[in-house]
Amino acid sequence: MARLRLKLLLLSALLTRPTQSTTTTTLRHTSTITIVQTIHASAATATASATTDEHSYTDDGVFKSTVLNISNTVRQNYNASALLWNNTLADYAQAWSEGCRFEHSNGPYGENLAATYPSAADAVTAWANESQHFTFADPGFSEGTGHFSQMVWKGTAAMGCGRTNCGSVDEGGDGDDADADGWYVVCSYWPRGNVLGQFAANVDAAVDGSGSSWDEEGMIAKSKSGVARADVRRGLLGVQLLALASWAALA
């Protein structure tokens, strides 16, 4: 299938003024919301024989362009506008990744996590490949598709990502898997997605009728393996309103 062309559009700024010049949008929030977040780790068998592409992680420019370009190529195929890279989000994501804790930061942004993938492209496309399990006829949240739905959420305007090489981290004292191994990728999104009750308006079916699976350059390909779990959080109205007020103040 021919590669989808990337169309970058200038989108909204967020909680602090970004370094680039952008237009801003005033948002309104009037109802209680429920937000769900998902974290994603690769299956051990998915990367055991893979060679890690260190350059895609260690080079700032390559990492940024890889994550943003793949994300926007996928978004284009699901009728979502291109995301703008925002340094505030990137700094937040980077700071969280450096703690090597494979769990959500519980901050004001949408958030996708990935660990142990051999390249930054593999990590991001693993999120996109969840599309093959998403029920577009009856859209909603599921543990196996939460990264994809945040990735293509039409109401999201900007993203920023960070990564840290966490090496080989032993399991936590209680035997859980809260510590990240290898390269740990964190992406933050604003406005955040995965808001229950808003999936139909924010997650469209693929415009070309495909979208079942993607390779690391955003082309249709065989899906990579992975496992996922979800963190459902409720009662975030106060945090959300505070964040929206900060956003509106920029207008």
More confident site: 172 or 32: 172
Report how far residue 171's alpha carbon sits from residue 178's, in angstroms, rounded to the nearest whole number.
7
pLDDT digit string (tens) for 146-185?
Answer: 999 999 999 999 999 999 999 875 544 343 455 888 999 9
Distance of CA 85 to the CA centre of its chain: 12
Residue 26 CB coordination number (10 Å) = 11
Domain ranges in the chain are 54-169+179-204
**CA dihedral of residues 18, 72, 223, 48 (deg, nearest 10):** -30
The amino acid occupying position 25 is T
Q: Secondary structure of the chain: what % helix, strand, coil (to 5)?
A: 30, 15, 55
Stretch 33-50: mean pLDDT, rounded? 40
For the cut 80, the answer to whether the pLDDT of residue 203 exceeds it is yes
The fraction of the chain above a pLDDT of 90, given in percent, is 53
More confident site: 220 or 112: 112
For the cut 80, the answer to whether the pLDDT of residue 117 exceeds it is yes
pLDDT digit string (tens) for 51-92?
Answer: 667 899 999 999 999 999 999 999 999 999 999 999 999 999
* Cis-peptide, bond into residue 191, ω within 30° of zero: yes
Report how far residue 185's alpha carbon sits from residue 100's, in angstroms, rounded to the nearest whole number.
10
For the cut 70, the answer to whether the pLDDT of residue 213 exceeds it is no
Report pLDDT for 65.
98
Q: Which CATH superfamily is domain 54-169+179-204 in?
A: CAP (3.40.33.10)
Stretch 35-39: mean pLDDT, rounded? 48
For the cut 70, the answer to whether the pLDDT of residue 8 exceeds it is no
Report pLDDT for 24.
26
